[in-house]
Amino acid sequence: DQQVKQNSPSLSVQEGRISILNCDYTNSMFDYFLWYKKYPAEGPTFLISISSIKDKNEDGRFTVFLNKSAKHLSLHIVPSQPGDSAVYFCAASARSSGGSNYKLTFGKGTLLTVNP
Amino acid sequence: KAGVTQTPRYLIKTRGQQVTLSCSPISGHRSVSWYQQTPGQGLQFLFEYFSETQRNKGNFPGRFSGRQFSNSRSEMNVSTLELGDSALYLCASSSGVGTGDRGIQYFGAGTRLSVL
């Protein structure tokens, strides 16, 4: 059972336009959401996060929106740049069953290509 | 502060062999998690170690095992390798204590394992 879903394996946008990456989740226990970016031959790097008590978090060109009722979050990149071309992973965090720590669950990723 | 270091970066093995991968976390981090990344499957959680104890475990067969040392360095072992074990294996570290980091993890560059 996939608890975090990124239904678009790939997305292509023009430089300067907006990129919107989507993510859906099923587990109501998730209370923190993160986006990671991964370039080939590198590990994922943390990009931006949002707590379940908020509906928006902004960091420069990157904004994450959370719709709790729809169990949906999205990452907006404005304006998109060729250097943003990478795989983007959505992740959700919930306390482990023992309650002592948080465990991350990742989606399968979306390959973003920004064309010059 | 040095990042997460994984060694080796590349490995080629044959079916039936075993392999050991190494991960040195960020200084001060006590939690180390391991993930398998394959095309189309995203990041699949293997297990997490905290203070030399396995704290969380994913749905992988017993051929996949790990351990953590007193200096927080971790090793992952795969025995009786199968062709399907070919993947990028990623290690991630976090403080692992309290709720301060809410599960944010910092990844190494990974070990690319090819099983022939």
Range B60-81 average pLDDT? 96
pLDDT at A93 over 90: no
Q: Lowest-confidence range among A50-59, B37-46, B106-115? A: B37-46
Put simply, the answer to whether B56 touches A51 (Cβ < 8 Å) is: no
Q: What is the 3-state secondary structure (H, E, C) of chain A?
A: CCCEECCCCEEEEECCCCEEEEEEECCCCCCEEEEEEECCCCCCEEEEEEECCCCEEEECCEEEEEECCCCEEEEEECCCCHHHCEEEEEEEEEECCCCCCEEEEECCCEEEEEEC
pLDDT at B99 over 70: no
- State the pLDDT at residue A41: 81
- Report the alpha-carbon distance of residue A42 to residue A103 in Å, rounded: 22
For the record, the structure tokens of A39 come out as 């370039």
B40: chain A residues, CB-CB within 8 Å: 9, 108
Put simply, the answer to whether B42 touches A89 (Cβ < 8 Å) is: yes
